[in-house]
Structure 1
């Protein structure tokens, strides 16, 4: 196998060496592509030293040398990749030795476009564990059971009940299969752009469950985790997820072949977050707006409201 591992690098000088070295020593890894995203720390110099030290490491920045976010950095990494397969790794996470054990066998089947597995949790300090254990604990994040590829997209949208998630660190994609996608990562999303990507990806590609009963990568938790800080500020889910569901709604409106039940579900959830995120007076305006008399009912998951939406006659 010739796998290109893409690592967006931002403010990760303490962790990037471990991430890189966890990948380059795996036989399946053909190259490690670092996209340095205008870090405020010394990450660029660390990346330059890694490129000098390891022949597998290739370092890039955005053409304007500015900060563009993880999504744009991963898109650039995909453009630069020369391997037959694409894998991702966050700069403060790392792979385990079994990272590509399932892929070596499963990709012998030409019908498989991608494989995903389970990610564990590593706390870099006792302080980080004390602060964030209530969020991550010591559990595996993964799709809970072996899933039919056709169930993965609705599962990612929570249309199939309790399903689990695909973490980018555990995803490996056949590069030629990406041609089925109309776009890669949405660069306008600073949060949830990975989930938005895997949701769309699982609609166009046949993604299979690899190793989901033990970790193949580790999520690194430290005091400076950007996502973790958001999760612990008691910010309402609606304020961070409304944009994610808005993007899915825009995609569903453009994708004519998307099943009708998917479109209804996406609109239902988006409307729920739209109401949840609105000021009090606007909540009632939106509720009134969406209570349109029709024989098609969309039930709001957050507010137990029956929406009659005329779009799906």
Structure 2
């Protein structure tokens, strides 16, 4: 296996050495691609030090000299990658020695397009642990059962009960499958760009479970990473979820191979976050609107009094 590890770097001067050296311990890794996203800290200097120290570490930046976020940086990494497989790592996280153990056997099957595993938690300081332990605890971020590829897409949508989650740090992809089956990789979102990617990825690619009951990588929790701000409501989670589900809804409505029941579920997920985030008066208006337009029993009753045309589609 020849794996390219793609690491977007922003404000991670304190952590990037650990991330890179955790990938270097994996003999399957043929290159580590750093995308330095115009950080205000000393991350660029640290990246150059790593390039000089390790032959397989490569450094790139966006051509226009602007900050583009993690998603667009990963896209640049995909463009520059030369390995047969792609893996991702956030600059403040790190791999464990077993990171690619499952991949070595699973990818011998040519029908396997991607493999996902479990993510653990590491607190970089006692202060971070005190602040965010109630959010993450010592729990694994993982998919709870071993599902066939066809179940991953509806499972992530919440249509398979308690499905669980996988992380960008634990995802490995066959590059050829990604390039051949998807036209758009990460979208230009500042929050939840990885979740949005996972939804579409699991629809187009065959994703298989790897190691689910123990971590293969660790989430680095500190006082200033984005996810802690969202989880602790410094950034309103409903607002960001509205944007996420709107992206998924817009994509799903245009994808002819997605069944109507799944499209309806996606619409309702988007609507639920809109309602949750709305002021009280608007909540009532939105609830009435969605009941009238999107629930078959009520809608069919209204058809009987010619309130709207039966062939009209919401």
Q: Relative to structure 1, is the Cα distance of residues 143 and 311 closer, same or farther in structure 2, using a 3 angstrom cutoff?
A: farther
C-alpha contact (below 8 Å) 1:114/1:173 kept by paired residues: yes
Partners of 2:201 and 2:120 lie apart in 1 by 23
TM-score when normalising by structure 1: 0.93
Unaligned runs of 5+ in 2: 299-307
What residue is the counterpart of 2:303 in the other structure? none
1:104-146 alpha-carbon deviations (Å, 9 max, x no partner) = 0110001100001001000111111111000000011111111
**RMSD over aligned Cα, in angstroms?**
1.9
Query: Structure 1 residue 181 and structure 2 residue 182: aligned?
Result: yes
Task: Provide, for residues 166-197 of structure 1, a one-character-per-residue CA deviation record: whole Å limited to 9, x for no partner.
Answer: 1010000000011201210111x211110110
Q: Distance in 2 between matches of 1:260 and 1:23?
A: 42
Tell me how far apart the structure 1 counterparts of residues 10 and 312 of structure 2 sit (CA, whole Å). Answer: 43
Q: Deviations over 1:195-217 (max 9, x none)?
A: 11011100000000000011000
- Which residue matches 2:67? 67
* Per-residue deviation, 1:280: 2.6
**Kept in 1: contact 2:8–2:70 (CA 8 A):** yes
Q: Secondary structure at the match of 2:223?
A: coil
Is 2:246 aligned against 1:246?
A: yes
Distance in 2 (CA, whole Å) between partners of 1:310 and 1:296 is: 13
Q: SS of 1:292's equivalent?
A: helix
Structure having the higher Rg: 2
For 1:24-49, what per-residue CA distance to the aligned partner results, in whole angstroms no more than 9, with x for missing partners?
A: 22110010000000101000000011
Correspondence for 2:6: 6
Between 276-285 and 28-37, report the one with greater CA deviation.
276-285
CA distance in 1, matches of 2:113, 2:89: 19
Structure 1 gaps, min length 5: 299-307
Secondary structure at the counterpart of residue 291 of structure 1: helix
- Structure 2 distance, partners of 1:203, 1:74, is 20
Q: Does 1:85 align with 2:92?
A: no
Instruction: Work out the number of aligned pairs and report it.
Output: 303
The 8 Å contact of residues 9 and 16 in structure 2, kept in 1 or not, is answered as yes
User: TM-score under structure 2 normalisation?
Assistant: 0.92
Pairing 1:24–2:17 present: no
How far the C-alpha of 1:239 sits from its partner, in A, is: 1.3
Aligned runs of 1:1-313 on 2, under 5 Å?
1-178=1-178, 179-187=180-188, 189-233=189-233, 236-292=236-292, 296=296
